[in-house]
């Protein structure tokens, strides 16, 4: 059998890299999308190709550029002439207090979390339909319960949630479209970094009283990729945080 092909955005590091590895282990050929993390992406592809030849490749694109998103879709199809699975994982995440927020922040957060994902789906829909494929969007539990201080991010993820439900209807019955909504898995970096006290407070508001792991997300992605009678669903992988009553 031919190996199925998966395109994973934001795949060089963190959760995206873990998803990529697990898909590869299940026999997928993987297209590793990156923007700034090109070195990490190339290292990952080199490692995977050393273990199974012609099983991984890297495509670089800025998801803020519609032209580059269009090129990414075209180049992804050129790799192995098909796309069986699209994982919209790439995301920008940083605070945007309402009074200080800018149009540039709006564009970056909406583009990376929603617009690029939508147009990748649109441009890969034909191949996904031919392959009876699957789209999985990495959403966030804050798509339903806004994260204070992060209004633009929360709005963008809410849009991605509705996109998941909408495209499940648009692409049925050939293509399944689902989402995974992580809770506290890996702590944010750079401008979004939080203190150990804040981390402890977040963990305390999960029912399981701990953080999850990137493997928890990747395993849920694999489940949805393989489960052929689920579409239009979003699974929260959050240790029960979305049920926690304040």
In the structure, how many helices (H) and strands (E) does the chain have? 8, 7
Compute CA distances 40 → 32, 56, 97, 200, whole Å: 10, 13, 32, 30
Q: Is residue 153 flagged as an active site residue? A: yes
Please enumerate in sequence order all residues whose Cβ is within 8 A of that of 238, keeping only pairs 6 or more positions apart, or say none: 141, 181, 182, 183, 184, 206, 212
| Residue 4: DSSP 8-state | P
The active-site residue, picked from 118, 150, 153, 244, is 153
Q: In what order do the strands lie in the sheet with 5-8?
A: 56-60, 29-34, 5-8, 85-88, 134-138, 176-182, 234-237
Number of C-alpha atoms within 13 angstroms, CB side, residue 141?
Answer: 16
Annotated catalytic residues are: 153
């Amino acid at each position: 059998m031919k190996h199925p092909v998966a395109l994973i955005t934001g795949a060089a590091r963190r959760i995206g890299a873990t998803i990529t590895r697990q898909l590869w282990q299940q026999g997928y050929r993987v297209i590793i999308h990156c923007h700034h993390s090109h070195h990490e992406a190339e290292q990952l592809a080199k490692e995977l190709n050393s273990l199974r030849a012609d099983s991984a490749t890297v495509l670089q694109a800025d998801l803020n550029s519609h032209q580059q998103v269009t090129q990414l879709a075209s180049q992804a199809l050129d790799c192995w002439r098909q796309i069986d699975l699209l994982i919209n994982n790439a995301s920008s995440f940083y605070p945007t207090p309402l009074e200080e927020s800018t149009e540039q922040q709006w564009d970056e957060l909406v583009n990376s979390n929603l617009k690029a994902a939508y147009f990748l789906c649109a441009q890969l829909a034909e191949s996904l339909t031919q392959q009876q494929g699957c789209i999985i969007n990495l959403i966030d539990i804050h798509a339903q319960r806004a994260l204070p201080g992060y209004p633009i991010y929360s709005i963008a993820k809410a849009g991605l949630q509705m996109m998941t439900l909408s495209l499940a209807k648009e692409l049925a019955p050939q293509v399944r479209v689902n989402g995974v909504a992580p809770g506290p898995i890996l702590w944010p970096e750079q401008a979004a970094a939080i203190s150990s006290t804040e981390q402890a407070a977040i963990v305390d508001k999960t029912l399981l009283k701990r953080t999850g792991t990137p493997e928890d997300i990747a395993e849920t992605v694999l489940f949805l990729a393989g489960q052929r009678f689920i579409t239009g669903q979003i699974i929260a992988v959050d240790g029960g945080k979305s049920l926690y009553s304040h």
